[in-house]
Structure 1
Amino acid sequence: MGGVTEGFGKDFSKIKYNSPDFELLDKLTYNAGTFAAFKNHSQIRETVRLLKDADGNLRSKSEFIKEALKLDKTYNKRYLSVEYDQAVTSGRMAKKWADAVRTQNLYPNLTYVAVMDDRTRDLHRKWHGITLPIGHKFWDTHYPPNDWACRCTTRRSDKPVDDKGLKVDDMPSLPKQFNINVGKEGKVFKEDHPYFKTSAFKAVATFAKNALVRFQTQSYYPKLKDTLAGTYKTDIGKVTVNNRAIKEALNQPHANAYLKNNLVGKLPELLKDAFYIKSLKPLKENPHWVLYHYLRLGDYDDMILVIREDRKGNYFFYSIVDKIKS
């Protein structure tokens, strides 16, 4: 995930929560984190297979360790380096796409730019200089990166369309992994990658989701505690945020928990922008809290801020939920 953020050039703290960039970075980092979980699963499967040799005989401990170390070198040195570089490149190109969409009223076209040296693939070299509208279907499948270690990029342009004499409406398909627009789909690694091809897909995907949310909870709280604590103006009045509430919000179950936790870091903005929708008494009588107030974010229908009111009429932020219990 660090590679994606590095390439994107910003982390969540530097992006407005209701901007396309925030949603895109959320998708990209989730995809990269999920990929890491599937990679780990793939390595474990291959490690288990190493317990036996090609003839089906159990290896000795020393032989198993020798083969396992070879596998580890493949996965965590050779593969890892390539995958990290791909994450950085994809993050950078996703950000360039978002910027292009944002300024397409000034620069309606994109130009494909290859490096043009002895390392450049022949196919990519042919595309150098192609200039097409941002909405052209060519960019759905041939937006860089177009292969591992691809150095190609794009440039925003207001120059005339130029297809370089190529049939841009019927281009040859790229490898499935790269037949994608990373900026549109928010994916660094597609489901076509070999790591994702496992009969345990659902189980690993669920594990990845839970692991990513657990990582957020454990790593975000030390950074957010105290820095977010304070009093903020909201649609219903001044609301106090304390460290207990920050921890509660991060741990709160949610249908879109990964995005919710990324939004917790933008809590001051959320409280300012959320609009009041309803108030309810506690489902069970409570000696401290008399009302629960619910505020919704206009940009996210499933992000509802919960504010508790005590018997003195003071408001306290409590959590973020996807639906109201009644």
Structure 2
Amino acid sequence: MAIRLHELYYHSCDHINLKAGDSDYKLPSFLNIGDLVGKALKRIFSTKKADVDPDLMEITYSTLNEAVNIGAGKIEYGKPNYDLAQQLRESGALFAAGKSWHQAKELAALTVRPDGKIRSWEEFQTLAAPVVENYNQTWLKTEYNTGIRAARSAIQWKKFEASADLYPNLEYMPSTAATPSDEHKVYYHIIKPIQDDFWIKHMPPSRYNCQCSVSQTDDDVSDAIPDGPDVAPGLDNNPGLTGKLFSDNHPYISTLSDKELKIVTKKAKQYVTKRNEDGSRRS
């Protein structure tokens, strides 16, 4: 999973370079990630098995909630797009549960030496450090910033739909990155109707850290779409249509066995139910 996620998130590394005056969002300060990771490590060292750890899930789920708050805005009940924003928040549950499962599985494997003997707590902590750093810092930051852009894209899509009678087409706009990747340049200034299937999968962000965008227009439609790169797994959806920040093709979900998926899905639903009933947790 480590190699797969690193390649997936940083394959388009040029997208990380922002235009002047821009900056990536830092992880939410209200989360005590160190404390939550500490509790999870003790639990996993004790059980020595994979599971959807509630504290590891809390880190990602709360972070994605905040991504929606920033990208979509804190929309009040009864206001336009409130239901969409709630869908986006809840979509993070399965994603966070799958991530928690994979992380706990990697950590549980570190509790035992190759000869079958149990590692000491100190040895386990040392080996676990780079794993939790990847999942809860490095990769989480990419997921957070991409989630913000996905939520922003979803709200923008609804605005496009509302004014489609005046501006029926959408234009794929260039990246705002200071040194944009060449991958998406084939799509720059492609114009297609809002109902075109192209926008089902190619509504930015379609790569992690991608900063391309879409603009509404009444200009003429492009004749053809050139061959371009595949959309990154997990981003091959239109959040404004699906209500999901990430699709289920993300490796956190797509690599689960049928048995694991059932467990993860059940734990995700239980977590959301408990979290909704417990007003003490940030939403």
* Same fold by TM-score greater than 0.5: yes
1:133 counterpart (185, 193, 196): 193
The corresponding residue for 1:193 is 250
Q: Of 90, 96, 110, which residue of structure 2 is paired with 1:36?
A: 96
Relative distance call for 1:117 and 1:23 in structure 2 (3 A) is closer
SS, match of residue 81 in structure 1: helix
Aligned AA (2:152)? R
**What whole-Å deviation, never above 9, does each CA across 1:204-246 have from its counterpart, x for those lacking one?**
21111121122122228x99xxxxxxxxxxxxxxxxxxxxxxx
After TM superposition, list the pairs within 5 Å mapping 1:35-114 onto structure 2.
35-53=95-113, 58-114=118-174
Matching residue of 2:225:
167
8 A contact 2:176–2:211 mirrored in 1: no
Which aligned pairs between 1:110-129 and structure 2 lie closer than 5 A? Answer: 110-115=170-175, 119-129=179-189
- The AA in structure 1 aligned to 2:70 is E
Superposed displacement of residue 34, structure 1: 2.5
Matches within 5 A, 1:175-254: 175-196=232-253, 197-199=255-257, 200-219=260-279
Paired residue for 2:209? Answer: 149
| 1:8 paired to 2:63 | no
Q: Cα gap change, 1:100/1:34 in structure 2, threshold over 3 Å: closer, same or farther?
A: same
Q: Deviations over 1:129-171 (max 9, x none)?
A: 11111011111121100100000111111222235xx535x76
Q: For the residues of structure 1 that align with 2:202 and 2:149, how far apart are their CA atoms?
A: 15
SS at match of 2:170: strand
Name which of structure 1's ranges 147-156 and 32-41 shifts more when overlaid on structure 2: 32-41
When you count strand as a share of all residues, which structure comes out higher?
1
Counterpart residue type for residue 189 of structure 1: F
Q: CA deviation at 1:53?
A: 4.0
Query: Which amino acid in structure 2 is aligned with residue 3 of structure 1?
Result: A
Instruction: Using the TM superposition, give the Cα deviation of residue 174 of structure 1 relative to its aligned residue in structure 2, in angstroms.
Output: 2.1
Q: How far does residue 123 in structure 1 lie from its aligned partner after superposition?
A: 2.2
User: Could you give the per-residue CA deviations for residues 37-94 of structure 1, whole angstroms, max 9, x where no partner exists?
Assistant: 2212221111101113456554333221101122111111101111111110100001
2:86 match:
26
Deviation, structure 1 residue 32: 1.2
Equivalent pair of 1:32/1:87 in contact (CA under 8 Å): no
Matched-pair contact (CA < 8 Å) for 1:116–1:125: no
Distance 1:55 1:190 in 2: 39
Q: Which has the larger radius of gyration?
A: 1
In the alignment, structure 2 segments of 5+ residues that lack a partner are 1-64
Q: Between Structure 1 and Structure 2, how many residues are aligned? A: 216
Letter in 1 for 2:225: K
**CA 6–92 in structure 1, closer or farther in 2 if over 3 Å, else same:** same
Between the aligned partners of 1:159 and 1:138, the Cα distance in structure 2 is: 17
Distance change >3 Å, CA 15–CA 119, structure 1 → 2: farther
Native 8 Å contact 1:113 1:153 kept in 2: yes
After TM superposition, give the deviation of residue 124 of structure 1 in Å.
1.2
* Length-normalised TM-score, structure 2: 0.69
Amino acid paired to 2:241: K
Q: Is the 8 A contact 1:4 1:32 kept in 2?
A: no
Q: Deviations along 1:168-214, whole A, 9 cap, x unmatched?
A: 5x765323322221211111122121211323211221111121122
Root-mean-square deviation (CA, aligned residues, Å) is 2.5
Q: Output the amino acid matched with 1:97.
A: W
Structure 2 counterpart of 1:323 = none
Alignment partners' CA distance in 1, 2:176 and 2:146: 20
**More relative contact order in 1 or in 2 (CA 8 Å, sep 6+)?**
2
What secondary structure is seen at the aligned counterpart in 1 of 2:189? coil
User: How far apart are the structure 1 equivalents of 2:238 and 2:251?
Assistant: 19
The two structures have a TM-score, normalised by structure 1, of 0.61
Distance 1:4 1:117 in 2: 22
Q: Judge conservation of contact 2:176–2:212 (CA < 8 Å) in 1.
A: no
Contact 2:94–2:265, Cα closer than 8 Å, also in 1: yes
State the distance in 2 between where 1:112 and 1:189 align: 20
Given the superposition, is the C-alpha separation of residues 15 and 153 from structure 1 closer, same or farther in structure 2, using an over 3 Å criterion?
A: farther
